[in-house]
Amino acid sequence: MSELRFTVEHEWLRAESDGSVTVGITEFAQQALGDVVYVQLPELRAYAVGAEVSVVESVKAASSINMPLAGTVLEANLLLAEAPERANEAPLGEGWFFRFRPDDASAMADLLDQAAYDQLIANQG
Amino acid sequence: MVEVLKHTPLHALHLELGARMVPFAGYEMPVQYPLGVMKEHLHTRAQAGLFDVSHMGQVRLRGPQAAAALETLVPVDIVELPVGLQRYALFTGEQGGILDDLMVARLADDELLLVVNAACKDADLAHLQAHLAGQCGIEALFESRALLALQGPAAAAVLQRLAPQVGSMTFMQVATVVLGGQPCYVSRSGYSGEDGFEISLPASEAEAFARRLLAEPEVAMVGLGARDSLRLEAGLCLYGHDMGADTTPVEANLAWAISKVRRQGGAREGGFPGAQVIFDQQRSGAERKRVGLLPQERTPVREGAEITDAQGHVVGHVCSGGFGPTLGGPVAMGYVAAHLSAVGTPLYATVRGKQVPLLVAKMPFVTPRYHRG
């Protein structure tokens, strides 16, 4: 398991050993969203960077999950369709959203590392 | 321009309890506490939720003509409202639209207490002053009194510990009760579909009293988020969303609130703004109606979504929608063409470009547990 990378939209990314990247939402994001009641999962296809791949409906509102890097979605976490609350309970574990193959794996390095992300949320908190 | 938000007397307590504060109707209000909307909702249905609704407007009308005067603005029987009861009412406009909904409590023969919506309270006060000045005393209690709601199956047991006499009250009864040495107006009512009470008390006493209630093991503070999902499951209207100046009581499915004596053929027929429009609609039917809607998929269907028929023709819109924690699924209300308003009618809502199937459903969605005695 490699270290996590982050986006300013509060997604985390983890490079897997097979070259794919797993994406989820951060602890900060799940707290801000409130209770998640529905997750519209991505389709298994190519998306441009920034494209809306998923929608999270909380008790309060709907929020988009946008593609952190250009790539092709390989797998969506079907558990979230049945148990959307896992996104609140285990955002870094069972509540992951999807796994994709980035067009350019080196682009991961441009995303925030843990220290930079911690700084970001410290400023937002 | 920076809007300066007003605070209720419990503002400091909300912050101390870790509430997430949001602007609402000119006030900074708690949308949720650390428990979260879902658990706050379920706690209210299981035990007792305490709500700060001090942003709502309280107005006292006084004088021997107060009830008769108020009847000129609402299609409701106020003259024969017994002392110790409250009634749901609507301010109607000249076109039959709803200017606000309110509770009217008869505290004494010559004294009424009105509770109106926060967003409407200044306009309501101006409306009362414009039409009733000279007929009765009109006293706005906006700053001087707080309003707390204690809702849920444990509400009565909790409040009885502080004021034993509330145990004998039934739904919609009102009593003046001394709590903490101060006269409070307590009504057995609320906005959650549960048994419970609304307590009007001096602003200066509100925080101490809220802390006293929170010390009871059954009581948790509940924010506006869960207040909304609770009232939606109970099928209760939210002013400005589920009805407003552009909807009549008939369209809003609130014709039940028009008292028999004020209807066409009643002893005090009409005499409120828009009576003719409303009577005409009651006779010939409205073109659209507010209905309950149950989405048939898990995705919540929210306010503003278009409602279509199977052919894709727009036949209405969603006015309130979200997730019902007690139902365990999405729930909504909407306005639809009258011929599509029968329970069981299949319709669709457009959500992010997709058609989500809906069924017109009976309201309330969750069986109310009002204490009717």
pLDDT band at B179 (very low <50, low <70, confident <90, very high): confident
Contact check, Cβ <8 Å, A38/B298: yes
Q: DSSP letters of B22-33? A: EEETTEEEEEE-
The single residue listed with the structure tokens 């209905």 is B291
Query: What ipTM was assigned to the predicted interfaces of this complex?
Result: 0.85
Tell if the CB–CB gap between B299 and A38 is shorter than 8 Å: yes
Q: Rounded CA gap, B148 and B52, in Å?
A: 5
The three-point CA angle B358-A89-A5 to 5° equals 105
Could you please state the CATH topology (level 3) that the domain comprising B287-362 is classified under.
Elongation Factor Tu (Ef-tu); domain 3 (2.40.30)
Measure CB to CB from residue B38 to each of A59, A62, A81 and give the nearest one: A59
Q: Which residues contact B130 (CB under 8 A, 6 or more apart)?
A: none
* pLDDT one-digit tens code per residue, B319-368: 999 999 999 999 999 999 999 999 999 999 999 999 999 999 999 999 99
Nearest to B299 among A40, A60, A61 (CB): A40
Class of domain B1-286 as given by CATH: alpha beta
Closest Cβ–Cβ partner in A38, A55, A59 for B229: A59
Which one-letter DSSP state was computed for residue B288? E
Whether residues B300 and A34 touch (CB distance < 8 A) is answered with no
Domain locations in chain B as residue ranges: 1-286, 287-362
Q: Give B323's contacts in chain A (Cβ within 8 Å).
A: 35, 37-38, 57, 59
Neighbours of A93 (CB within 10 A): 9
Contact indicator for B292, B363 with CB cutoff of 8 Å:
yes
- Position of tokens 């992010």? B352
Quick: pLDDT tens for B101-130: 999 999 999 999 999 999 999 999 999 999
Structural domains of chain A ordered from first start: 4-104 (2.40.50.100)
Q: H or E element: which one contains B282? A: helix B275-284
Sequence length of chain A is: 125
Chain B residues whose beta carbon lies within 8 Å of the beta carbon of residue A32? none
Q: Note whether A51 contacts B: Cβ–Cβ < 8 A.
A: no
pLDDT in tens, B204-234: 999 999 999 999 999 999 999 999 999 999 9
- Can you say how many angstroms the Cα of residue B37 is from the centroid of all Cα atoms in its chain? 19
Residues lower than pLDDT 70 in chain A: 1-2, 125
Angle at the Cα of A115 from the Cα atoms of A110 and A121, rounded to 5 degrees: 95
DSSP for residue A123: H
Contact list, B36 vs chain A (CB under 8 Å): 34-35, 59
How many A/B residue pairs have CB atoms within 8 Å? Answer: 44
